[in-house]
Amino acid sequence: MKVLYQSSFGTVAWPLSGLRMNFWHETTINPFFNYDVSTQLMNLDCAGVPSHLSYCTNIHAGDAWSDVLPELQRQLPKVRSAMDYDKPMGLGLRLSRNSVDSLQDPDTFTQFQSWLSANNHYVFTINGFPYGVFHGERVKEDVYKPDWTEDARLEYTCLLADTLVKLSPPDNYGSISTLPGTYKDWMMPGTEKLIAQNLIKAVAHCTRLQQKTGVTIALALEPEPCCMLETVSESIAFFKQYLFSKEAIQSLAKQTGLDESAATEAMHIHIGICYDVCHSAVEFENPAHAIARLQSAGIEIVKIQLSSALEIPNVNEASLRQLSRFDEPVYLHQVVEQRGDTLVRFNDLRAAISSLRYRLNTRSTLDPSLQFAMSGCYEPATTQLFSTKAEADPTWRVHFHVPVFIEHTEHFSTTQSTLQQVLQIQKLSGFCRHLEVETYTWDVLPEAYRTQSVSEAIAREVDWVRARL
């Protein structure tokens, strides 16, 4: 357990339309892009900004490409059928290192490209956060390995960028979401600087790709609880100190041959934030405030991951018993506890449950007022001397992605209202062009919430979002 900061919460109104800073720019025509995006129902018009919507295929199991493609071939027709949708459909593609290596084989890549074309699919974004196996075995904090201090993460991300360029994303613009540096428990002096150096190398690679092909690839760091970047404040501070600084711009200019003005523009275009709505909600961030702060800092919101978390007000022993159903062995489920104006973070649900259960047990056995009642001692002076101050009941938000159409589970609430606020802001201001529903935890949801097939659940989630845009 670690206490990171205290904060007060209130409603903040920001003029979003005046702050939107999308770095649109002209590029050459991609010769592989041969369909009319104006006919796509999944290509939404949000305040005049074309925005692509899909779901992230990390909900499907598969590490090796020989497993991934057959799973896509099984599931996508079912999703289309459930949505009654036959127009061009974008994909938020998840590729492990194993899979992206396989796609470097020309025949394998051509087979995939032909399948996309034949089935009216296109790829506009890639989830490059999980490097290895992501289903069916313990993932937990290993999802952050290798982190951005390691060359393997840089090489993997550059391969994803190369692959996305060849997949011809619409509008000559593709995005890649990636981990926010590293896991906070692994940080040491110099970690942030080393991570920034590798990120600048990745930006340089994307810049050279744009110069060569006319396709812009934007990297999107995805803040997550208990990581190096977990809040908007931490993200802004990192970008200002390590990516937007004069030293960082000069480094990028040296690697790309650009002058400092062009290098500054390239930095803003090729790296930004993936705003995961679940993660931000778990941090108790006001979404309008968070979005406006990123924009006013000149940080592009490259991608939104549309997701929802568990919310448990007034946590007690009964809550803990029901929550234990969500304590599963595959993924990390970080918890942020709000007690009054204080936030306390726990790296996983089990640690949070154990900590609160200990506090509840200690309070029930050691509370002096209870001891007085048992002994019959009610002397006013004594009671006043030893009386305990009432502790505010905690509210928990849990990093467990639940289907976005669920407002309430059997025993708890969700942060769906936060997601609805983000969608309303998107509808009114078009602050982001890539939208991706991400509920990768389907396989580990308690059985009571898996009463339909995964393809039906995906279709229902995407339709729920479309109805609000």
Average pLDDT over residues 27-39: 36
Lowest-confidence range among 2-6, 219-223, 268-272, 382-386? 2-6
- Mean pLDDT (whole number) for 230-242: 98
Q: Assign 239 to helix, strand or coil.
A: helix
- d(C-alpha 194, C-alpha 191), whole Å: 5
Least reliable range by pLDDT among 67-71, 121-125, 354-358, 386-390:
386-390
Our measurement of the distance from residue 265's CA atom to the centroid of its chain's CA atoms, rounded to an integer in Å, reads 25
Q: Are 13 and 287 in contact (CB under 8 A)?
A: no
Look at 132-141, 275-284, 389-398, 448-457 and tell me which has the smallest mean pLDDT: 389-398
CATH dotted code for 14-308+405-466: 3.20.20.150
pLDDT at 22: 36
Mean per-residue pLDDT, 438-450: 96
Q: Which residues contact 346 (CB under 8 A, 6 or more apart)?
A: 1, 334, 335, 336, 337, 352, 355
Q: Give the per-residue pLDDT at 83.
A: 94
Answer whether 459's CB lies under 8 Å from 452's CB. Answer: no
Average pLDDT (451-468) is: 96
Q: Alpha carbon of 459 to those of 76, 80, 448: distances in Å? A: 10, 7, 19
Sign of CA dihedral 260, 262, 265, 271: negative
pTM of the full predicted structure? Answer: 0.88
- Cα–Cα distance for residue pair 312/78, rounded to 1 Å: 34
The answer to whether residue 408 scores a pLDDT higher than 80 is yes
Q: Kindly indicate the confidence band of residue 197, based on its pLDDT and cuts at 50, 70 and 90.
A: very high
pLDDT tens, residue by residue, 303-334: 999 999 999 999 999 999 999 999 999 999 99
- 403 vs 39, residue with greater confidence: 403
Q: How far is CA 187 from the centre of its chain?
A: 21
Round the average pLDDT of the chain to a whole number and report it. Answer: 89
Residue 127: pLDDT over 80? yes
Q: How far apart are CA 311 and CA 313, in angstroms?
A: 6
- % of the chain at pLDDT higher than 70: 85
3-state secondary structure of 107: helix
User: How far is residue 246's CA from residue 375's CA, in Å, rounded to a whole number?
Assistant: 69
* Residue 170: burial class (beta carbons within 10 Å; 0-12, 13-18, 19+): buried
Give DSSP secondary structure letters for 328-348: -SSS---EEEEETTEEEEESS
Which residues on neighbouring strands pair with residue 54, listed in sequence order? 436
Confidence of residue 392 (pLDDT cuts 50, 70, 90): confident
User: What three-state secondary structure class fits 202?
Assistant: helix
Which distant-in-sequence residues (6+ apart) come within 8 Å of 305 by Cβ?
Answer: 56, 177, 222, 274, 275, 276, 277, 278, 436, 437, 438
- Calculate the CA dihedral of residues 450, 79, 32, 92 and round it to 10 degrees: -20
Question: What is the rounded CA–CA span in Å between residue 307 and residue 320?
Answer: 23
Q: Is 35 a residue whose pLDDT tops 80?
A: no
